[in-house]
Amino acid sequence: METSSYNPYRVAQSQFDKIAAVLELDEGVRQILRQPMREYQFTIPVRMDDGTVRVFNGFRVQHNDARGPAKGGIRFHPMETIDTVRALSMWMTWKCSVVNIPLGGGKGGIVCDPHHLSMREQEQLCRGWVRQIAKNVGPVTDIPAPDVMTNGQHMLWILDEYETIVGGRYPGFITGKPVGMGGSLGRTEATGYGVIYVLREAMRELNIPLAKTTASIQGFGNVARYATELFIRLGGTVISIACWDQGDKTSYSYRKKNGINLDELRSISDKFGGIDKNRARDLGYEILPGDAWIQQDVDVLLPAALENQINRETVQKISPKVKIIVEGANGPTTPEADEVIKQRNIFVIPDFLANAGGVTCSYFEQVQCNSNYFWEKDEVLSKLDTAMTSAFASVHELADQKKLYMRDAAYTIAVSRVAQAVRQRGWA
């Protein structure tokens, strides 16, 4: 639901400005935190399979590293913009802070559609990206990871090119790598599972039995799949999944009122999270418009796709039955929609808390790589559960004490920690 007037960077800044005023931050700290410290834009020439040369635009933004090296994904998306990357880098700063890991915020991207690129072309794109930015990233400065339409293979190509350039082995430079090549067990599940860990805690606080709840989810990428998996395992029912159709590249909502079957949807999906519409129909799914996911009569809405999905128009379509919105995606809710959600007293678990499981496990991967000692999967997920539960408890306790909206409470904790680091370093 992208609109020409929507600018994620302005949204991120307005969210920050609101909390900065509440915290009464001095002007120097505000100016440091409301914009990126560094940003890079560059071109990446790639020789395509047909022999022609195509030039792609790449980005890397480092919002703040007062609490530690910048951390953030690299996404492939045909609609990528520098303002999107700026916003995401800022949200990463708050995300690392709210779960209290010693990292700052960064983000990267390439304007491309990997659906239309061969694996060789994608490899050249990854290697070209790091060649342009190698002097400005590294295991003690800026640590990338996968994001939208990128995966462990892309990260390994980037790592290999980086190590070739700098001359050495630096597995802690990048996270989200394949297991056996420096990747962490549990990393694939981490973001989606983290979403459900905090949802579980919210339901406990609200005295809602998870086993009797229903959910509608937007997205069928990595986050949505594992959130769906754990939600169902804990007894919940997912009745609708919204994502792209492989054939006509249009978004649809796939609904079964008695609950979707995750395994069968996985069997008819591609690696980018698209579902084959015709095969889904054959399996008994209702095929609804792409935005129908938000209209479902469910207890939980879980946006796990892109930003700006719950906005001024779509928020009006949310069913009166909805009790909780847990934001698996980054920036899915606009400020205008937030006001409506507040008025309706829907409990929100904000994005930079809800989906922080990914960066938390990335931090675990970095620690394991740097120590050259790797943990078993159960240990990784146990540590992740502990970290997410603790972060939720801190935010909810503040929200309860100060009668704050959950998003405002999360921002208050996150911004306060980063502002303190800025002051302690003597930057302002």
**Both ends of the chain: CA-CA distance in Å?**
39
Angle between helices 377-402 and 406-424 (to 10 degrees): 100
Compute the distance between CA of residue 44 and CA of residue 77 in angstroms, rounded to an integer. 15
Query: Residue 232: which H helix or E strand, with range?
Result: helix 222-233
**Catalytic residue chosen out of the listed positions 107, 177, 256, 277:** 107
- Say whether 177 is catalytic: no
Collect all residues with Cβ–Cβ distance below 8 Å to 138 and sequence separation of at least 6: 162, 166, 170, 173
The helix/strand/coil state of 345 is coil
For residue 64 the two structure tokens come to: 């703040």
Detail the DSSP E strand segments found in 147-236.
214-218
Query: Residue 156: which H helix or E strand, with range?
Result: helix 152-166
Q: Of 51, 47, 95, 102, give the one whose Cα is nearest residue 72.
A: 95
DSSP-based helix, strand, coil % in the chain, nearest 5: 50, 20, 30
Collect all residues with Cβ–Cβ distance below 8 Å to 248 and sequence separation of at least 6: 277
Which strands sit side by side in the sheet containing 347-349, from one edge to the other? 286-289, 251-255, 237-244, 214-218, 300-303, 324-326, 347-349
Compute the distance between CA of residue 334 and CA of residue 311 in angstroms, rounded to an integer. 5
**β partners of residue 229:** none
Total residue length of the chain: 428
300 within 8 A of 214, measured Cβ to Cβ: yes
Q: Residues 358, 364, 370, CA angle at the centre, nearest 5°? A: 135
What CA–CA distances, in Å, run from 147 to 110, 297, 338, 428? 11, 30, 25, 32
Q: What's the distance, CA 6 to chain centroid? A: 19
Rg (Cα) of the chain, in Å, rounded? 21
Which residues are part of the catalytic machinery?
107
